[in-house]
Amino acid sequence: MRIHVSFIDRVGITQEVLALLGARHLNLDAVEMVPPNVYIDAPTLSPAVLEELHDALLDVHGVQSVEVVDILPGQRRHLQLDALLAAMSDPVLAVDSAGKVLLANPALIALCGRESAGRSVSELFNDPGLLQVLLDNNFHLPMREMQLNGQSLLLDATPITNAGALLTLYSPTRMGQRLSALRHDAADGLDTLLGESPAIRTLKARALRVAALDAPLLVHGETGTGKELVARACHALSSRQSAPFLALNCAALPESLAESELFGYAPGAFTGAQRGGKPGLMELANKGTVFLDEIGEMSPYLQAKLLRFLSDGSFRRVGGDREVKVDVRIISATHRDLERMVAEGSFREDLFYRLNVLNLQVPPLRDRGQDIVMLAQVFMEQACTQIQRPACRLSTATHAALLGNPWPGNVRQLQNVIFRAAAICERQLIDIGDLDIAGTSVASGQPGAVASLERAVADFERDLLQRLYASYPSTRQLAVRLQTSHSAIAQRLRKYGIGRDK
């Protein structure tokens, strides 16, 4: 039986309470002091003895109440901790400040095949240097790859102040799911493709068919049309929807970095490489989808390595000699004419046919008719929410200008134009004069000359900052106004020479 005795705290009262139990020759399994309370677990305490003991305890000066409880607080916390650890599907272990395992959850014990408490982390992972690395870095380490019973796992260390650390092990696929969740849009499937024009309806109908086919898919479309949204929608509609969707922009990284991001690297592959190696997107997305944007910019060397992967699903990490085999669907995208690149010899013909098993063409914004006005209204609502200003709307007079613009930057350019209008205009009704459509005569609605999308975006950015700087004359004020970091604002102000003393 377990009892809870509450009292007015005074010197010696606990000893008097325990002496009463000792006088009755009661064995005590546990005593927990939480002043002004004491909790006692006495297995041999019977109801008859408790009745007599109850009155004796209340006669002790300062004792206020005596009641039976089902469990002691410490025992309850222990059970809750056990339940919490058992519910965690990832292997978890706690280590003390010397790197000895204090406790492990059932997932880790099942992986090891035996209890791990009392063992050193170096012994557990068969890595003599691991303990010293943990100690040298105060148990704070970037995620690194480990081997446990022949299984590759990612080790994440979380320091606990003056008490060691909590170590969590993730399979590469689990980590891929987490990365995918972080990057995933709120909506799924075709709901992300806004519009009801014939062109977008045709795209949705075809996407619905090809999404279910587990084969490589090539998405064509001009810059800014939303090719990644289409790829995400196809993944969400496929049998792989519960597995990761991870993306790599082939134009954004040099060849060596793109290779390690895509295929990972082995321990010691190059100077500065993470100790233990690192899995790439192919491993992290196992059973899921890898999206290769701007595939036309991929180097010839990576084209050859990707071709081999598409042939049998296997590859080698950078600097590695072990074959890795995964099950990944490749969706690629480009705004370039790959068939012409094949004819010119700048893109491998065999890779093109491997990637182009299925294909989708994303229409440019200028071919989507009334979708333009609908998208502009949606972007206006989103912009007002983002910059926390009262809701505003587009006047009907803006519709002709929006429809008449060629939109070389497509949906992305439209979104920028609408955001700028919402950020600058103080009125609730946005009119033609508030829209800065690069290269278009708003009065006539006829397209003018656009040097390049990059130039148009730069002009937009510079003009926006110049207008707002007068009202928000510091990087921090301007960063708060535009919902971004002050370092990003400072960089752009320097780039355009805004705010400098002349």
Based on the domain organization, do 191 and 45 belong to the same domain? no
Give the CATH number, domain containing residue 237: 3.40.50.300
Asked whether residue 83 is assigned to any structural domain, the reply reads no
Strands 151-160 and 164-170: antiparallel
Average pLDDT over residues 261-281: 73
318 CB burial (10 A radius; 0-12, 13-18, 19+):
buried
Based on the domain organization, do 112 and 144 belong to the same domain? yes
Asked whether residue 17 is assigned to any structural domain, the reply reads yes
Measuring CA to CA, which residue among 415, 452, 460 is closest to residue 436? Answer: 460
Share of the chain above pLDDT 90, in %: 28
Based on the domain organization, do 315 and 422 belong to the same domain? no
The answer to whether the beta carbons of residues 332 and 218 sit under 8 Å apart is yes
Model confidence at 451, in pLDDT bands (50, 70, 90)? very low
Compute the C-alpha angle 334/335/337, nearest 5°.
90
The answer to whether the beta carbons of residues 306 and 263 sit under 8 Å apart is no
Comparing 105-114, 264-273, 349-358, 461-470, the range with the smallest average pLDDT is 264-273
DSSP character at residue 274: P
Asked whether residue 98 is assigned to any structural domain, the reply reads yes
Model confidence at 448, in pLDDT bands (50, 70, 90)? very low
Based on the domain organization, do 105 and 44 belong to the same domain? no
- Cα–Cα distance between 394 and 415 in angstroms, integer? 13
Give the CATH number, domain containing residue 446: 1.10.8.60
Q: Going by C-beta distance under 8 Å and a sequence separation of 6 or more, which residues neighbour residue 312?
A: 325
Kindly report the number of other CB atoms within 10 A of residue 35's CB atom. Answer: 10
More confident residue, 111 or 5: 5
152 CB burial (10 A radius; 0-12, 13-18, 19+):
middle
Give the CATH number, domain containing residue 109: 3.30.450.20
Query: Which of 72, 104, 124 finishes a domain?
Result: 72
- What pLDDT sits at residue 205? 94
Looking at the DSSP bridge assignments, the partners of residue 393 are 429
Based on the domain organization, do 268 and 377 belong to the same domain? no
Task: Count structural domains, the chain.
Answer: 4
Question: What distance lies between CA 81 and its chain's CA centroid?
Answer: 27
Asked whether residue 183 is assigned to any structural domain, the reply reads yes
- Cα–Cα distance between 28 and 33 in angstroms, integer? 14
Give the CATH number, domain containing residue 63: 3.30.70.260
pLDDT digits (tens, 9 = 90+) for 183-193: 554 446 788 88
Q: Going by C-beta distance under 8 Å and a sequence separation of 6 or more, which residues neighbour residue 270?
A: 318, 319
- Cα–Cα distance between 417 and 437 in angstroms, integer? 7
- State the residue range of the domain holding 351: 177-361
Based on the domain organization, do 213 and 355 belong to the same domain? yes
Asked whether residue 501 is assigned to any structural domain, the reply reads no
Q: Going by C-beta distance under 8 Å and a sequence separation of 6 or more, which residues neighbour residue 295?
A: 218, 250, 332, 333, 334, 338, 355
Q: State yes or no: pLDDT of 301 exceeds 80.
A: yes
Based on the domain organization, do 200 and 337 belong to the same domain? yes
More confident residue, 17 or 437: 17
Based on the domain organization, do 322 and 220 belong to the same domain? yes
- What pLDDT sits at residue 440? 41
CA dist list (Å): 220 to 106, 192, 217, 247: 48, 18, 10, 16
Half-sphere exposure of 79 (CA within 13 A, CB side): 6
pLDDT digits (tens, 9 = 90+) for 326-382: 999 999 999 999 999 999 999 999 999 999 999 999 999 999 988 999 999 999 998
Strands (E), 149-255: 151-160, 164-170, 217-220, 245-249
| pTM of the model as a whole | 0.60
Based on the domain organization, do 335 and 233 belong to the same domain? yes
The answer to whether the beta carbons of residues 106 and 91 sit under 8 Å apart is no
Question: What distance lies between CA 59 and its chain's CA centroid?
Answer: 61
Asked whether residue 133 is assigned to any structural domain, the reply reads yes
Question: Mean pLDDT: which of 25-29, 349-353, 412-416 is highest?
Answer: 349-353
279 CB burial (10 A radius; 0-12, 13-18, 19+):
buried
Asked whether residue 270 is assigned to any structural domain, the reply reads yes
Strands 2-7 and 63-69: antiparallel
The answer to whether the beta carbons of residues 300 and 250 sit under 8 Å apart is no
Based on the domain organization, do 50 and 137 belong to the same domain? no
- What pLDDT sits at residue 174? 62
- Cα–Cα distance between 374 and 424 in angstroms, integer? 21
Asked whether residue 447 is assigned to any structural domain, the reply reads yes
The answer to whether the beta carbons of residues 366 and 406 sit under 8 Å apart is yes
Measuring CA to CA, which residue among 288, 242, 290 is closest to residue 263? Answer: 290
Query: Which of 313, 337, 361 finishes a domain?
Result: 361
Query: Which of 361, 377, 399 finishes a domain?
Result: 361
Instruction: Give the chain's mean pLDDT.
Output: 83
Average pLDDT over residues 386-412: 87
- Cα–Cα distance between 224 and 465 in angstroms, integer? 23
Based on the domain organization, do 192 and 319 belong to the same domain? yes
Comparing 123-127, 404-408, 450-454, the range with the smallest average pLDDT is 450-454
Average pLDDT over residues 76-97: 77
Based on the domain organization, do 417 and 284 belong to the same domain? no
DSSP character at residue 278: B
**3-class DSSP state for residue 154?**
strand
Compute the C-alpha angle 35/40/43, nearest 5°.
175
- What pLDDT sits at residue 185? 47
- Cα–Cα distance between 318 and 263 in angstroms, integer? 7
DSSP character at residue 367: G
Model confidence at 79, in pLDDT bands (50, 70, 90)? confident
